[in-house]
Structure 1
Amino acid sequence: MKDILIVAHFTQVPGEQGNGRFGYIADILADEGHNIEIVTTQFSHRTKKQRASIGEQGNQLKYKLTMLNESGYRKNVSIKRFYSHYIFGRNLKSYLNNRKKPDMIYCAVPSLDAAYAAAQFANDNNIKFVIDIQDLWPEAFKMVFNKPVISDLAFSPMNKKANYIYNSADNIIAVSETYVNRALSANQNLKKGLSVFLGTDLSYFDTFNKENKVNKPLEEIWLAYIGTLGHSYDLNTVIDALSILKGKGINNIKFIVMGDGPLKFKFQDYAKAKKVYAEFTGRLHYEEMVGILGSCDIAVNPIRSNSAGSIINKVGDYAAASLPVINTQECQEYRDLISSYDAGINCENGNPVDLAESLLSLYSDSKLRKKMGENNRKLAEDKFDRNKTYLNLISEIMQE
């Protein structure tokens, strides 16, 4: 039996919505007889509120859950957010210094402040340090604050911190091969890492899909988007494409947008201005989202140019739902998956005409939609099913 400490700054706690990776991993390791603790924050990044005590729900967990203080913030890109992360990192450092030394630290990256504190502690105490990269910082922030030279200088301290974390790792796990390669470029000791997509439990997904299907008018084609409505996502180009098709007399494509974020009202207003048939549902419970998604015909993955994202949450759900994907994301890793599985159509980023033509080809051909959707489901079964893929992840964590 090993004492394993999981540091996960951005994770769900009992009672919160989400399809969390780290609670899932903790349950597996606990079932194997290991002593597991997850350390996270009292502040919820999603709701921007301090969390209440989980009370009795905590007693039902297979692992110990510790929530440390963090000051909080209102905007995702702000000085207050960076300060809040600093506070959490400082409190984590103090907690580690007063806790019994674990046999291993399994650490989510980001945030950098928490991961940096964990890396320093592991180095100082000769503790095995395994990282699991969920996003690339500071690369992701450069999407929002992209000023040549100025951005590089402003984010230089973050970049140095990230490189220290990557170089400290005894094992590198990430949600994509793209992220693995970024970490390996800074690690002087490792030649390989392991890519395990975030994925989902397909058995649960299929149950929710069956139980929560919605009635859809036969004459309509539903185009789905799920996820954050923020700066990395180019819904305006999708709306422009739909406007182009409407100009050609196609009025029965309904754009269903499931999610919330800082640009929600801007996207809503743009859809109204373009007179596009769209429904913005807001944030849904995962079970409800799956039911609606499974009732759709096509999915769209509209990521802005130069995004640091790679294999993101939504594409796993699209695959699980057997939907063909219209993809504008430039990440070569995902574009290659779409091509190799013939699971959708890759479009030119930011080009509404190309997107409209791709959408028209799927709209006009039900057999093509069915074939590509089935291929995408095969991709889900091969690459996104946690029942299979997380066995490799656990094996990587526990190797000596």
Structure 2
Amino acid sequence: MKVVFLALGFPHKKEPGNFYMTLMDRFHSEGHEVTIIAPAHKGTVPGLQQENNFRVLRVKTLPQFGVNFVKKGLANLLLPYQYKKALRALEEDSNFDLIFMPTPPITLYNLAYWLKKKSNGKIYLILRDIFPQNAVDLGIMKKNGPFYHFFRNQERKLYKISDAIGCMSPGNMEYVKKHNPEVDTSKLHLLPNWSDMLPLEMNKQEIFNIVQREAIKDKFVIIFGGNIGRPQKMENIIELAIACEDMDDVLFLIYGYGAEYKNLKAYTKQRGAKNVQFGKELPYNEFIKVLSLCQVGLISLSEDFTIPNIPSKSLSYYNAKIPILASIDLNTDFGNILEENRTGVWAKAGDVNALKEQLLVLYNDPDLRKEMGENGYEYMKSELSTDQAFRTVLNQIKHY
């Protein structure tokens, strides 16, 4: 098959932990011709080129990351027109059998529809963000305003033209059904977050070096790694850290990036949290090793969400064999997933006392931590592998 992936961003170097790249790599290894359409960014140049195993069409776009919401919104609105122009400029055939479109952004609807009509290909929607409702939940957009109605119309049309829609969880799938009754439910199926697993073996010297570098010797380390933005509401975690200051050996270690990173550091300083440490950015394969030397992995979601989100950073914790402590809203079914697989504990986001109680469950029971860590590793190996995601996609496409 000729496969195209419409990307909001795509690394130009092979990076462990990027689940879109691992899936496309699997398609390539099975003999399919893979083309990626993605923005040109630092380290890349516009135009068609070979990167790793893929044909990558890099397109000059407006910046989408590290900018305010107005600039980000404008960049996303222009994206389909810029991608379409770049595709039309190619002298070679640009017809595709399978068109991958992940969310975000939904603004690529027009491009996906154009490619489908042009190629008679199938659209596979990897549904991760449910937009624009998530923007409403976070106070970025007003419900029933003109922008909301525009994007909501785009969302509905995207569901209609998609031949298959992969949802993160049962709750995610039920949300789409409830709020979009016109959608053909046969399109909807489970496609949980996936990843390749990295080895955890380290020699004594490596372990010593990490412990010294991160200053975690004799500490009970609760670690967070990943995006820091409004969806994560990391202020809740800082409040937990302050509530744990009576536990002398507890350290909150935060590795992050994103729009709220600087604000979070300022908030931490303002609140005087002395048991919070910010780590420096690491390559993913090194970060996994740090994780494996920690005791608990943190998940944080804003209590304002009305849509079920499943945080992909949980995959890193599963891989590292550490249990999860989750501060989450009551609309996600991530807590149910933790309970069903016995991979962690959770409390309602914003309830610091309840979250500390759950932390104490893990703090006081090393055998439980080990059991939950092993459960997470086995769960990921059996249910959340790239191979599993690849088979799910192919099985769904065969129906059409």
Does the alignment pair 1:129 with 2:123? yes
Residue 149 to residue 8, structure 1, CA distance change in 2 (3 Å): closer
Q: Distance in 2 between matches of 1:309 and 1:51?
A: 35
- Give CA deviations for 1:341-391 in whole Å, capped at 9, x if unaligned: 222212122011111122122212222222222222232223322244433
- Give CA deviations for 1:79-120 in whole Å, capped at 9, x if unaligned: 222221222210223345565322232222221222332124
Q: Distance in 2 between matches of 1:395 and 1:147?
A: 37
CA RMSD after TM alignment = 3.0
Give 1:81's match in structure 2, choosing from 72, 87, 90. 72
Does the alignment pair 1:61 with 2:60? no
- Give CA deviations for 1:303-338 in whole Å, capped at 9, x if unaligned: 111334622221111122121211121243211111
Q: Tell me by how many angstroms 1:224 deviates.
A: 0.7
Residue 74 to residue 63, structure 1, CA distance change in 2 (3 Å): closer
Farther off after superposition, 298-307 or 184-193 = 184-193
Q: Tell me by how many angstroms 1:33 deviates.
A: 2.2
Does the alignment pair 1:396 with 2:383? no
Q: Tell me by how many angstroms 1:69 deviates.
A: 2.1
Q: Distance in 1 between matches of 2:19 and 2:120?
A: 26
Q: Counterpart amino acid of 1:232? A: P
Give 1:278's match in structure 2, choosing from 276, 279, 291. 276
Q: Distance in 2 between matches of 1:114 and 1:209?
A: 47
Residue 316 to residue 220, structure 1, CA distance change in 2 (3 Å): same
Give 1:176's match in structure 2, choosing from 169, 185, 188. 169
Q: Counterpart amino acid of 1:335? A: G
Q: Distance in 1 between matches of 2:204 and 2:382?
A: 21
Q: Counterpart amino acid of 2:190? A: S
Q: Distance in 2 between matches of 1:240 and 1:201?
A: 34
Q: Distance in 2 between matches of 1:211 and 1:227?
A: 27
Q: Match of 2:218?
A: 219
Does the alignment pair 1:254 with 2:275? no
Contact 1:163 1:183 in 2 (8 A): no
Q: Distance in 1 between matches of 2:98 and 2:205?
A: 40
Residue 20 to residue 395, structure 1, CA distance change in 2 (3 Å): farther
SS at 1:270 equivalent? helix
Does the alignment pair 1:193 with 2:188? yes
Which stretches of structure 1, 4 residues or longer, exceed 6 Å deviation after superposition?
208-211
Residue 389 to residue 188, structure 1, CA distance change in 2 (3 Å): closer
Q: Distance in 2 between matches of 1:240 and 1:374?
A: 29
Contact 1:107 1:130 in 2 (8 A): yes
Does the alignment pair 1:324 with 2:316? no
Q: Distance in 1 between matches of 2:130 and 2:314?
A: 18
Does the alignment pair 1:366 with 2:366? yes
Contact 1:92 1:117 in 2 (8 A): yes
Report % sequence identity: 16
Q: Distance in 1 between matches of 2:174 and 2:163?
A: 15
SS at 2:339 equivalent? helix
Contact 1:341 1:375 in 2 (8 A): yes
Q: Please, which runs of 5 or more residues in structure 2 have no aligned partner?
A: none
Q: Match of 2:100?
A: 106
SS at 2:251 equivalent? strand
- Give CA deviations for 1:179-206 in whole Å, capped at 9, x if unaligned: 444555365434242322232212x253
Contact 1:223 1:297 in 2 (8 A): yes
Q: Tell me by how many angstroms 1:212 deviates.
A: 5.8
SS at 1:347 equivalent? strand
Q: Match of 1:46?
A: none
Q: Distance in 2 between matches of 1:212 and 1:163?
A: 51
Does the alignment pair 1:300 with 2:293? no
Does the alignment pair 1:52 with 2:44? yes
Give 2:139's match in structure 1, choosing from 140, 145, 159. 145
Q: Match of 1:14?
A: 13
SS at 1:224 equivalent? strand
Residue 196 to residue 76, structure 1, CA distance change in 2 (3 Å): farther
Q: Distance in 2 between matches of 1:263 and 1:329?
A: 18
Contact 1:135 1:179 in 2 (8 A): no
Q: Match of 1:156?
A: 149
Q: Distance in 2 between matches of 1:168 and 1:24?
A: 26
Q: Match of 1:263?
A: 260
Q: Distance in 1 between matches of 2:310 and 2:369?
A: 22
Q: Please, which runs of 5 or more residues in structure 1 have no aligned partner?
A: 44-49
Number of equivalenced pairs:
387
Q: Distance in 2 between matches of 1:61 and 1:101?
A: 22
Q: Tell me by how many angstroms 1:232 deviates.
A: 1.5
Residue 147 to residue 209, structure 1, CA distance change in 2 (3 Å): farther
SS at 2:278 equivalent? strand
